[in-house]
Structure 1
């Protein structure tokens, strides 16, 4: 079949697509057309669409509340509901922007605590595995800390605190991954800095015992016997039954060092690692 014979068919198809596009555009215009309605009716319709998980339709209706009744209490609430609908639709950028818009206009509004929380969980839900860039994880941590600092007695703060522990564990895991890579690459000093950061900044996470063991390994490699003993003693004092301490204990005793000797002072985790700690 020649190209010339195909052209009429292509023209018909193009017309069908154009007509279909116009119909869709007209439908959208009808949905956004100004039809004055009571504020409660608009808001409740938006809430109903949200319950049905028709997020785009819910957003349109909440926006319509703002457009038709801009100075009402319902308009303020609709701003937060629009951000929440975007969050439920996993449009996190729109959710964050919507919550930030609310806070810029109503910083002391009754929904401010939830707006801050919505920003935090929007970042939190975007956290990726430790093998990738952790910029979003850092933003999540900052936003979660904002919630606990501003609204310490709220239910949002309690949930934010739990999420902060998870975020810190994620960031500590990233530091450990980088530190292990430095060790494998024989960049021991760089590895030490990563492991020390875990011990000093993320000391309540699940990665701390391994970080202390890696410090024992690294210090022994560098010939820093006193620092290796201090790290081992700290590991034994804080995690005496862990496999990491058992491995560190074997390494140290091979070098004639005893982390359980009476001469090894028992101080806190941070004091043991920071030079000059008391």
Structure 2
């Protein structure tokens, strides 16, 4: 019985060794390895590209391909949905290359990665409202794109960043609107009013700002505050005229 157990264990170890050898990246010149990695990137073979790029990064951390390997890893991790690794690689590269010529792209990729962390395939597929989800990735993405525009207003990524900022602003306003509605349903009238006023102040040109007036009106009515009711109703009527 023991002998059979030992034979089975040895077989498993041999199979594991074969699998490791099969998955191992060949020890070839860095130029050849990078060529293979680049071919995988071009064909969308993200997993294989990552495997080869990580091998290059570990074997030749200060080689001639060092910077480009890091940039390629950022892109491959992002395309493969490995967002924590994408951000970690971005932080590492930015720390080591604070004035790199592609710093605008680095900022852009950071924004895209934070933005992707707010997305969810099933939510998008079924068109589900994501306004009650954690807004921190959205806030981070908004900050990334805003910083890119401030530092590199003429970047080739500036136009797309401006479009994304509008989308992110609407997303943040919708989150605050969901919070205001939450307070209203819990009969936390003052908290609901404060959140609505914050939306109107911070995101005045969004749909959520207009919707917040309805919540604000209900809260003022619940408190029987006539001045607040009149002022809010006047704002609602004014928006209808526009």
Same fold (TM over 0.5): yes
Higher Cα radius of gyration? 1
Secondary structure of the corresponding residue to residue 157 of structure 2? helix
Aligned equivalents of 2:41, 2:175: Cα separation in 1: 37
* Runs of 4+ with deviation above 6 angstroms: 7-10
CA RMSD of aligned residues (A): 2.5
Return the structure number with greater relative CO, CA threshold 8 A, min gap 6.
Answer: 2
Aligned residue number for residue 120 of structure 1: 111
Q: Deviations over 1:222-251 (max 9, x none)?
A: 23322332222233333426xxxxxxxxxx
Q: 5 Å matches for 1:1-278?
A: 13-29=8-24, 31=25, 33=27, 35-38=28-31, 41-63=32-54, 65-66=56-57, 67-68=59-60, 70=62, 72=64, 74-128=65-119, 129-240=130-241
Aligned equivalents of 1:13, 1:144: Cα separation in 2: 56
Aligned residue number for residue 273 of structure 1: none
Distance 1:216 1:89, change over 3 A: same
Aligned residue number for residue 256 of structure 1: none
Secondary structure of the corresponding residue to residue 88 of structure 2? helix
Q: Deviations over 1:44-63 (max 9, x none)?
A: 32221112222232224334
User: Are the aligned partners of 2:132 and 2:179 in contact in 1 as well (CA < 8 Å)?
Assistant: no
- Once the two structures are TM-superposed, the CA of residue 81 in structure 1 deviates from its matched residue by 0.9
Q: Gaps (5+ residues) in structure 2?
A: 120-129
> Which one has a larger percent helix, Structure 1 or Structure 2?
2
- Once the two structures are TM-superposed, the CA of residue 88 in structure 1 deviates from its matched residue by 0.7
- Once the two structures are TM-superposed, the CA of residue 122 in structure 1 deviates from its matched residue by 0.7
Q: Deviations over 1:32-51 (max 9, x none)?
A: 53x3243xx44332221112
Q: Decide which moves more: 133-142 or 90-99.
A: 133-142
> How many residue pairs are counted as aligned between the two chains?
231
TM-score (norm 2): 0.83
